[in-house]
Amino acid sequence: MNILVINSGSSSLKFQIIETDQNMIDGSSDKVKVKGLIDRIGTQALAKIAVTNGIEVKESIAIRDHSAALDYIFRKITSGTLNIEGIFSLSDIHAVGHRVVHGGEKFSKSVLVDKSVLKEIEDCIDLAPLHNPANLKGIQATLALFGEKVPHAVVFDTAFHSSIPEVNYLYALPYQYYRRYRIRKYGFHGLSHRYVSYRYRRIVSLERDQLNLITIHLGNGCSICSIKGGKSFDTSMGFTPLAGLIMGTRAGDIDASIPEFLAHKEGISLSDIDILLNKASGLLGISGLTNDMRELLDEEREHHDRRATLAIDMFTMRIKHYIGAYLAQMGGADAILFTGGIGENSSEVRRRICTDLGFFGIELNEEANKQKCFGAEGNISTENSKIKVWVIPTNEELMIARDTFRCVAGLPV
């Protein structure tokens, strides 16, 4: 089954076409045929398409909206010039899977799209005003393109965390605010945490309910998740993706009184403070240089920049804090899994996080850690490490494709 995977942003559209079937034990049957990104939709857009046969397309083109972006994509991939295996027309797409950031409390698993599902996604816009409207644009554009001939499924980033118990997802606010507005921890990066935990259990031959893990997704956005008995037990992101770890431009956890204090001192609005916390804080705010961890490590190494070092140290210390909390919360763990752009590629950041965690039985194999970068997967802990440490590259698109297949085939998700 050829599945079109769509990840729609406010001015971007990422896509992959993945061939998958019921043989989804180790991923050997899954085949990415083509992938791409249309960026800056609404202006002079940048289009990138990469075929697994090595052919690439890069061009600047005027694209007014998401429907025009999809039209451009399919004109390109069905033109015959890219030689994409088995893709000659729209009829060669058998299903479409969409990433939707927020499913609220309504959706604990992926579902096929119908009018009621679209209405529920709209109802979650208050919870994800930047993401859900953009996700809906992608769904509506593909529905218009394919009509009712092709089934569509939605895969929610929050769904994996629907298993978090009440004691962990509630905030200590007056309970009526949860009842009225569903103010609670929802968590995000669910597709990534779910994928790496699934991949780990396939590698070590465990059943889902045997998994007790800490999964750490580190990129421009960062989150950490405790997985108990194979289910999400707690996670660092909360009501919004702002909470928890220090990120590229997000502050992570702060004292809740700081916004009111800043509003008074700086004479700025809550909206301005929200932008400050989401767009101008984190690694960028601390260093005053960049939100890119690679650049900060370069600045530290080449120029001994004090604030670059401070940003990196604060970043890693916050992660240590959560590792300790989650180990206490779960009564230990079998493994810690690193993923995401930083987690997969920065051996130095992993080293700093794991340093001085010997008290918990965590021992890093320095040589293995240095080798596991840029797509490499494997164990980076010593033989004596009581808690194993792994690097597992994430694959959110594959999770979307597999869930879409299950929804269409009527299999459990």
Q: Which residues sit in the known binding site?
A: 7, 14, 99, 217-221, 292-294, 341-345, 396
The rounded distance, in Å, linking the Cα atoms of 85 and 131 is 33
Tell whether the torsion through CA atoms of 120, 122, 127 and 132 is positive or negative: positive
Q: What DSSP assignment string belongs to 126-168?
A: TT-TTTHHHHHHHHHHHHHHHTTSS-EEEEESSGGGGGS-HHH
Q: Within 10 A of 23 (CB to CB), how many other CB atoms are there?
A: 10
The rounded distance, in Å, linking the Cα atoms of 94 and 286 is 47
Three-state SS for 14-31 is: EEEEEECCCCCCCCCCCE
Catalytic residue selected from 71, 114, 157, 234? 157
Active site residue 157: yes
The rounded distance, in Å, linking the Cα atoms of 207 and 350 is 27
Q: What's the token pair of residue 100?
A: 């939707």
The rounded distance, in Å, linking the Cα atoms of 204 and 212 is 13
Could you give the maximum distance between any two Cα atoms of the chain, in Å? 62
Tell whether the torsion through CA atoms of 166, 232, 254 and 352 is positive or negative: positive
CA distances from 235 to 56, 57, 226, 267 (A): 38, 39, 6, 34
Instruction: List residues forming the annotated binding site for substrate.
Output: 99
Strands of the sheet with 56-62, listed across from one edge: 56-62, 44-51, 31-39, 12-19, 2-8, 95-100, 152-156, 111-112
Collapsed DSSP state (helix, strand, coil) of residue 49: strand
The rounded distance, in Å, linking the Cα atoms of 233 and 193 is 12
The rounded distance, in Å, linking the Cα atoms of 243 and 169 is 13
- In this structure, the chain runs to a length of 413
CA distances from 271 to 259, 265, 277 (A): 10, 15, 10
The rounded distance, in Å, linking the Cα atoms of 145 and 237 is 35
Tell me which residues are annotated as active site.
157
